[in-house]
Amino acid sequence: MTFNTRYTTLLLFIGDIVIFFATLWLTLLVRYQTLPSEVLFNTHITEFLPLFVLWALVFYMAGLYGKRIVFFKTKLFGVILGVQLTNIILAALYFFFTPGIDLQPKTNLFLYLVISLGFILVWRLSIFPQVTRPTTREQAALIASGPDASLLVREVNENVRYRLSFAFSVSPQTLVDDFEQFVTRLSQEGISVLVVDASDDALRPFLPRLYELAFVHPRYPLLDFHHVYEEVFDRVPLSVLEYDWFLKNVPTGGSFLYPFAKRTIDIVGGVLMGVITVVLTPFIALLMRLEGKGPVFIAQDRIGQYGKRVTSYKFRSMRVNKAASSEWTTEEKRDNPITKVGNFLRRTSLDEFPQFINILNGELSLIGPRNDVEGLGKRLGEALPYYHVRYIVKPGITGWAQINQQYEQGNISPQSIEETKVRLAYDFYYIKNRSLALDIVIALKTVKRMLFRVSSW
């Protein structure tokens, strides 16, 4: 049957309530190292019940019971994390300032919030999508044109994990030529969702009529094409990159909290990388010497934030320390191959660890768009419009593109202009959506990627 919004909301709510109660029982089990007695559990239920109601209300206000979560889930982790942080504050205020509460729940509350966060993430991100997978998907019509539109249709229609499929797509010009025929086809095809590229100039005169279909006669919920594309591919469609996109989406300021938290994490991570580098350097130097001559470390002039030159330090992984040229070539790779030790360092990402110096100096971040060697960066800036705008944020050791993009067999970085275009689309997605929650996702997936490279040998 077609996906039912009321059923979804009810199921989500019931699942959340079950988790609230189950987490409390598990918290008492962990805290007291024995099965909770009925009296102990009921006592805690009495004190926690008003908090459960308050938390459910916070979930509702955060949009965690809305229909849009059926289609868009990439921001769900960040929303849940933010909601749980809010719940921590509310719980602290409730238990420590509400008169008549006899419990001393500091340890219990901490355990509860940690366990419930894990349960909610598993429930929302893994279990719920499986148990609510519809037998038929929402039928959508796409009003857009170009290669990005074709790519979206192919990806969505060929993958059953998406809760909608495109029954047909039309170009904006086709809609302009015969709008009534388009409306008739919507009814004939059983369309329930419209995905529209509202930025197309040809479509602008007809937007009022489309909005009437969506809002005045709400038979066809309206989704933005670029939003759907980003949610499906986790990157920005390059066709949307015009000057006004940057004015709307590139951050020029922001709160103090995120930069402070990010810098704190960078310092902690940089110190850990420094310790690992100091411990491993003698062993890596010995292995390099056994394989041949050459320095242990290399220094490269790379592009930093706002185009500033940064001298980056790495373990040498190729036979000769030779900076990348301004051209894409294969001869250099043959003449200057990766060493056996270098191959291990690259696969484990240990070659990047000496950059702890750059991180502690504030020149690099642990997470951000990967920066280029100067010669290569100049070449890419000439070939790709808006390429250097990616340096508006501090470059990182790892980033959104590095955990998402698939390269040609045997490559661990872009080796062509086309691959770099895709990387750029991921970089702009990160710049637009960057947050502490997204950085946590990138960090966790980076660790997973490092372990996968090692285990795949």
Q: What is the pLDDT of residues 357-399, one digit of tens each?
A: 999 999 999 999 998 888 888 888 888 888 888 899 999 999 9
Q: How large is the average pLDDT for residues 411-421?
A: 72
Res. 102 pLDDT band, cuts 50 70 90:
low
Residue 238 placed within a domain:
no
Count of domains for the chain: 3
Q: Return the higher-pLDDT residue of 7 and 357.
A: 357
pLDDT tops 70 at residue 23? yes
240 is a domain residue: no
Does residue 23 contact residue 112 with C-beta atoms inside 8 Å? yes
Domain boundary among 201, 217, 233: 233
pLDDT at 251 over 70: no
The pLDDT score that the predictor gives to residue 106 is 58
Same domain? For 77 and 147 the reply is: no
Same domain, 367 and 394: yes
Quick one: average pLDDT of 274-302?
A: 91
pLDDT of residue 269: 92
251 within some domain: no
Q: Is the pLDDT of residue 255 over 80?
A: no
Range of the domain at 196: 138-233
Does pLDDT of 192 surpass 80? yes
pLDDT of residue 16: 84
Residue 245 lies in a domain: no
Same domain, 269 and 402: yes
Q: What pLDDT band is residue 1 in, cutting at 50, 70 and 90? A: very low
The residue among 13 and 159 whose pLDDT is bigger is: 13
Q: What is the pLDDT of residue 355?
A: 94
In whole angstroms, give the CA distance from residue 118 to residue 127: 12
Quick one: pLDDT at residue 283? Answer: 93
Is 24 in the same domain as 126? yes
Rounded to an integer, what distance in angstroms lies between the CA atom of residue 310 and that of residue 254? 25
Residue 246 lies in a domain: no
Whether 44 and 126 map to the same domain: the answer is yes
Q: Looking at the structure, do residues 345 and 424 belong to the same domain, yes or no?
A: yes
- What CATH number does the domain containing 167 carry? 3.40.50.10700
| 320 and 289 assigned to the same domain | yes
Determine the average pLDDT of the residues in 240-252.
70
Which residue, of 111, 131, 151, is where some domain finishes?
131
Q: Tell me whether strands 396-398 and 365-367 are parallel, antiparallel or unpaired.
A: parallel
**Reported confidence tier of residue 178, pLDDT bands at 50, 70, 90:** confident
User: Per the domain annotation, does 252 fall within a domain?
Assistant: no
Q: Which of 113, 131, 149 is the last residue before a domain boundary?
A: 131
Question: How far from the centroid of its chain's Cα atoms is residue 182's Cα?
Answer: 36
> Are 190 and 153 contained in the same domain?
yes
Give a yes or no: residue 44 inside a domain.
Answer: yes
In terms of domains, do 102 and 193 share one?
no
Q: What is the mean pLDDT of the chain?
A: 80
* Residue 229 forms part of a structural domain: yes
Instruction: Kindly state the percentage of the chain with pLDDT values over 90.
Output: 15
Same domain membership, residue 263 and residue 386: yes
Same domain, 204 and 83: no
* One domain for residues 170 and 195: yes
- 193-209 pLDDT, tens digit per residue, is 889 888 888 888 878 88
- Whether residue 141 has pLDDT greater than 80: yes
